[in-house]
Amino acid sequence: MDALFSQLFAGLSLGSVLLLAALGLALTFGQMGVINMAHGEFIMAGAYTAFVLQAFIPDAGVSLLVALPVGFVVGGLLGLLLEVTLISRMYRRPLDTLLVTFGVALVLQQLARDVFGAPNVDVRAPAWLSGAVPFLGMNLPKTRLFILGLAIACVVVLSLVLKLTSLGRRIRATVQNRDLAETSGVSTRATDRLTFFVGSGIAGIAGVALTLLGSIGPTLGTNYIVDAFLVVVVGGIGQLKGAVIAAFSLGLLQATFEYSTTASLAKVLLFVVIVAFLQVRPQGLVSVRTRSLA
Amino acid sequence: MSAATGTATTPWWQRSTVRVAGGVAVAAVVLFGIAPAVLSDFRLNLLAKFLCLAMVAVGIGLAWGRGGMLVLGQGVFFGIGGYLMAMHMKLADAGPGGVPDFLRLYGDGVVPGWWEPLRSPVVTVLAILVLPAGIAALLGLAVFRRRVRGAYFAILSQALAAAFAILLVGQQKVTGGTNGLNGFRSFFGYDLADPINKRMLYFIAAGVLIAMVVVVRLLMNSRYGELLVAVRDQENRVRFLGYDPANVKVVAYAIAACFAGIGGALFAPVVGIISPADVGVIPSIGFLVGVAIGGRATLLGPVLGAVAVSWAETGLSEQFPSFWTYFQGALFILVVAFLPQGFASLGTLWRRRRGTPADAPDDPPTTHPSAPGSSPDADDDAQHAADSARTAGRHA
Amino acid sequence: MSEQTGTGEPVVPPDATGGLDPEALEAVIAAPGARFRHDYLEIRDLRVVFDGFVAVDGVDLTVTQGDLRFLIGPNGAGKTTIVDAITGLAPAAGSVQFGGVELVGKPSHKIVRAGVGRTFQTASVFDELTVLQNLDIAAGAGRGPWTMLRRRHVVPPEVEAALETVGLTQVRDLPAGVLAHGQKQWLEIGMLLVQDARLLLLDEPVAGMSQAEREETGLLLQRIGEQRTVVVVEHDMEFLRAFASSVTVLHQGRVLSEGTVAQVQADPRVVEVYLGSGAHGRGRGMAASAAEPAASTEVE
């Protein structure tokens, strides 16, 4: 029974990390049909933001709380820059965008290597996140609980923003009917930029959160990007709901596979399960029937 | 256009067979005559390595340039070919019934049952030819039948590469882990320390590459080649002509995988090592750079692009390791964003400026698959994304 | 973004081609026995539901060989959705039979092999392939692997005849992307002919054509209709009056009226629907133009 619960928690924890990494991706992909390979490097940028801030703010707790919004802005600005310079030119070529943003990812990684050095660096976790919370005979690490809470908070805030604010209305209008939104006075260009800013900003938050789980390095993003993509594929696009369910399902599955086999076999098994799942739901969990030729 | 060739109106030098034979002759003179004469043994071995990478590029040109499938995981098939060959060489070096050194070092000193068949050279060669193509065909059937395509297919192929690399690292006891397999002494009984045999490997690689280019050329000009372009540009329209586009795509994907496997199988003895670093996500995308630069939809663009990029990488990364990564990233950004046809399109532009028709007989159409107005599939994906996102109004 | 292709911009003036040649049609469609084969399309209780929205609600439709049937109706009446449902593109419930073969539930490419061919609202030809290659692909669904993997040495006779029929012989080696809009639509009709479709479903085949082109297309469709089963979705009322042999009017996913052009025009329900929707959606393009027959009925 204990093993079951600790597996469950491991899965939820992994799922929350995946969700943080994939949430912004789901937003930008949903709006523009663009897969941004540099998303992982925005995560990395968020992580290094936390690292840099710690040099200025000695208190680990304060610097973490400052790093979350600053990481959001750093990731968001990087995304905005990418959108304005490259992606906006290539909306009709989504596959090519994937390659171009991969080039951006390579450059950003090397930049991090040159600025911060190739070896991994550590960010101190605040004292109030050290240790564990006893629960049903298990010890749940506080950092993992914090990330779980952060992921849920991000989803809640994001869906409230989409539902209640004028930005959210503009985003939804643009996603649903770009042309109509345009003719109704919504600047789709500005909306695209804002969406990209928010989506990439969430990547920055994810990066800050990842510093709590271990040391960080220039390839931090690469480790998460493939899994984040899989979350988007399985979740389907257009609704945050899909990404949330997919992230936690994949997290739980992977934790289960890792428990019963090895970590490396688990990846292969997960891949097989995803391909099998796509046989049943090729458009992901949340699918919308379309009338077009597609 | 090909219907016009072979008729009396076509000048003899433009006839298909003549052009193919001429091209093969030129390639043979360059690769078998000039290169061995002017290059040192070391440089020739390096060129052999580039040719192995170019084999992967030829397949990518077919699957991506002609078939519109963004194959981000060719490292998997390259790796399967490479590891099969490497394992055969390790087993052969160990002698009949012997145990390769790495199995004693990391494992329990026993050859696992599923490695055993690779003691036979025949089984090894067959496995190299069949296994990558078979795995690609299975995966292709599974995803293309369900109309998973575009970015979704790209992500899946990439995830396959990631899982494969992680598996290789994780199963160190039977794969050598991060270090991979290395220290091969012989290749089908020939001593690899002997420069003559290294040279022979180069000739094999050159011959195989030329054969692959000829095969792709024949495919491109066949009815299948036309159908593949049709599927790339308007997959659904093809469906309403009575074809199953999944089958059309699977063939190209399997051929690309087979070529990558052969490339990997020759890469291992040429370079002397195959490791997870050659097969993961990054090298898998790396294969695409050369293809994009050379011109993805052309016949020779991928080959020339791959060789040029590998050559530049060797030269630049020796002297300025960090500069190379910037350079590679910049190449991706600039070529794909601003020159989607690669450098091959410069030739087309030049010909157009001279007033010659861009599509002379026998020239495959080189238009970019996702150019506006010519690629409903790319539009489809965007459209699909937009359509599927229609319900975003019901966000969470 | 450097785009050098130039496709999309028609560079071939329409008069560069010889116009349609219905005489050549005989060679394409008069296959032995075809003349005496009595195929018919029979739709029973067809329903299409998208995410809870009922797009087609219990439609019955019978179209026999020799009929040139037009489907009309206001926007959202379900015309294109019916065509989608027949060809496996929309999720259909009910029964669609052609030549005694049940089509519902089959994948699209198998429906096509049962003799059903269709076009799309936006002309969809393979822009980068030549006219000849387009037709050759359309003719080749039954080819074996060996034929596929070889070059085309001779132009198949039915492709040759189809080129004549749709008047594209002179441009057969040009990429289809440079054709004028009307020519692309003719090419699509030619593709239907060579793919040996016995049921032709045409979605707005004369949209964007000049008056002369419409005339030619209409005559060609009439001749095809003598030997094949043809269903046309069309908004152009003048074209309908000139060439339709029978009309089915759809409204909100149901069949509102059916009969000859005169019968339908005299049907008070049709008048009401068109005037009603015209009044509500005044100035909304399609609804306004669709209101035309009803209005002219009143004038007559």
Where in chain B are the domains? 3-395
> Is the pLDDT score of A71 beyond 90?
yes
Question: Which of A233, A264, A282 is the closest to B146 by Cβ?
Answer: A282
- Identify which of C244, C196, C125 has the alpha carbon closest to the alpha carbon of residue B234: C125
| Count of alpha carbons within 13 angstroms of residue C237, beta-carbon side | 20
Do C2 and B345 count as a contact with CB atoms less than 8 A apart?
A: yes
**What is the predicted pLDDT for the residue at C78?**
87
Whether the CB-CB separation of B16 and B5 falls below 8 Å is answered with yes
Which helix (H) or strand (E) segment holds residue B315: the answer is helix B301-319
- Identify which of B51, B69, B52 has the alpha carbon closest to the alpha carbon of residue B60: B69
- Which letter does DSSP use for residue A141 in this model? E
Within a domain: residue A125?
Answer: no
Within a domain: residue A261?
Answer: yes
**What is the predicted pLDDT for the residue at A238?**
66
CA distances to A61, A211, B321, C225 from A114, rounded to whole Å, are: 28, 20, 11, 72
Do C120 and A293 count as a contact with CB atoms less than 8 A apart?
A: yes
Do C129 and B16 count as a contact with CB atoms less than 8 A apart?
A: no
Q: Judge whether C121 is closer than 8 Å to chain A, CB to CB.
A: no
Q: Is B10 exposed, middle or buried (0-12, 13-18, 19+ CB in 10 A)?
A: middle
Those residues with Cβ within 8 angstroms of residue B33's Cβ, 6 or more apart along the chain or in another chain: none
The dihedrals phi and psi of A176, each to the nearest 5 degrees, come to -75, -40
Reduced to 3 states (helix: H, G, I; strand: E, B; else coil), residue B127 is helix
- Which letter does DSSP use for residue A224 in this model? H
**What is the predicted pLDDT for the residue at A160?**
92
Do B396 and A175 count as a contact with CB atoms less than 8 A apart?
A: no
**What is the predicted pLDDT for the residue at A287?**
53
Question: Which of C1, C136, C173 is the closest to B223 by Cβ?
Answer: C136
Do B152 and A89 count as a contact with CB atoms less than 8 A apart?
A: no
Bigger pLDDT: B34 vs C121? B34
Confidence of residue C36 (pLDDT cuts 50, 70, 90): very low
The residue written with tokens 């959202």 in the block is: C76
Do C112 and B373 count as a contact with CB atoms less than 8 A apart?
A: no
In chain C, residues with a C-beta closer than 8 Å to the C-beta of A291 are 50, 80-81, 84, 90
Alpha helix ranges (H) inside A236-280: 240-260, 263-280
In chain B, residues with a C-beta closer than 8 Å to the C-beta of C4 are 341, 345, 348-349, 352
Neighbours of B305 (CB within 10 A): 28
Q: Which domain holds residue A73?
A: 2-115+140-280
In chain C, residues with a C-beta closer than 8 Å to the C-beta of B6 are 153
> Is the pLDDT score of A170 beyond 50?
yes
Percent of chain C with pLDDT over 90: 31
> Is the pLDDT score of C232 beyond 70?
yes
Whether the CB-CB separation of B120 and B188 falls below 8 Å is answered with no
Give the closest-approach CA distance of A92 to chain B in angstroms.
Answer: 6
Bigger pLDDT: A19 vs A187? A19
In chain A, residues with a C-beta closer than 8 Å to the C-beta of C89 are 293
The dihedrals phi and psi of C102, each to the nearest 5 degrees, come to -75, 130
Helix, strand, coil abundance in chain A, percent, nearest 5: 75, 5, 20
How far, in Å, CA of A80 to CA of A38, rounded?
Answer: 12
In chain C, residues with a C-beta closer than 8 Å to the C-beta of B3 are 132, 152, 155, 173
pLDDT tens, chain B, 396 aa long: 444 444 445 666 667 788 888 888 999 999 999 999 999 999 999 999 999 999 999 999 999 999 999 999 999 999 999 999 999 999 999 988 889 999 988 888 888 988 999 999 999 999 999 999 999 999 999 999 888 878 889 989 999 999 999 999 999 889 999 999 999 999 999 999 999 999 999 999 999 999 999 999 999 999 999 999 999 998 888 999 999 999 999 999 999 999 999 999 999 999 999 999 999 888 998 899 899 989 898 899 999 999 999 998 888 887 887 788 898 899 889 988 888 888 877 766 666 666 544 443 343 343 443 333 333 333 333 333 333 333 333 332
Within a domain: residue A251?
Answer: yes
Bigger pLDDT: C296 vs A211? A211
Give the closest-approach CA distance of C26 to chain A in angstroms.
Answer: 32
Confidence of residue C18 (pLDDT cuts 50, 70, 90): low
Whether the CB-CB separation of B32 and B226 falls below 8 Å is answered with no
Give the residue-averaged pLDDT of A132-143: 83
Output the average pLDDT for chain A.
87
Output the average pLDDT for chain C.
80
The residue written with tokens 């990478």 in the block is: B53
Of A72-76, A108-112, B228-232, B286-290, least confident by mean pLDDT is B286-290
**What is the predicted pLDDT for the residue at A248?**
94
Within a domain: residue A293?
Answer: no
Give the closest-approach CA distance of A100 to chain B in angstroms.
Answer: 5
Within a domain: residue A18?
Answer: yes
To probe the interface with A, which of C5, C7, C50 has the most A CB atoms within 10 Å? C50
Q: Is B214 exposed, middle or buried (0-12, 13-18, 19+ CB in 10 A)?
A: middle
Within a domain: residue A288?
Answer: no
Bigger pLDDT: A167 vs A100? A100
Do C173 and B341 count as a contact with CB atoms less than 8 A apart?
A: no
Residue C250 region by backbone torsions, left for phi larger than 0, else alpha for psi between -120 and 50, else beta: beta
**What is the predicted pLDDT for the residue at B75?**
96
How far, in Å, CA of B223 to CA of C133, rounded?
Answer: 8
> Is the pLDDT score of C137 beyond 80?
yes
Give the residue-averaged pLDDT of A267-279: 89
How far, in Å, CA of C15 to CA of C204, rounded?
Answer: 22
Give the closest-approach CA distance of B207 to chain A in angstroms.
Answer: 31
Subunits with 3+ C-beta pairs closer than 8 A to A: B, C
**What is the predicted pLDDT for the residue at B352?**
64
Q: Is the pTM of this model over 0.90?
A: no
Angle between helices B195-221 and B16-28 (to 10 degrees): 160
> Is the pLDDT score of C294 beyond 80?
no
Global ipTM: 0.87
> Is the pLDDT score of C16 beyond 60?
no
Give the residue-averaged pLDDT of C192-203: 90
Residue A129, amino acid: L
Bigger pLDDT: C285 vs C69? C69
Confidence of residue C143 (pLDDT cuts 50, 70, 90): confident
The residue written with tokens 């510093």 in the block is: A211
In chain A, residues with a C-beta closer than 8 Å to the C-beta of B395 are 159, 162-163, 168, 172, 239-241
Query: Which C-chain residues 222-251 have CB contacts (< 8 A) with chain A?
Result: none
**What is the predicted pLDDT for the residue at A42?**
96
How far, in Å, CA of A180 to CA of C53, rounded?
Answer: 21
Count how many domains chain A has.
1
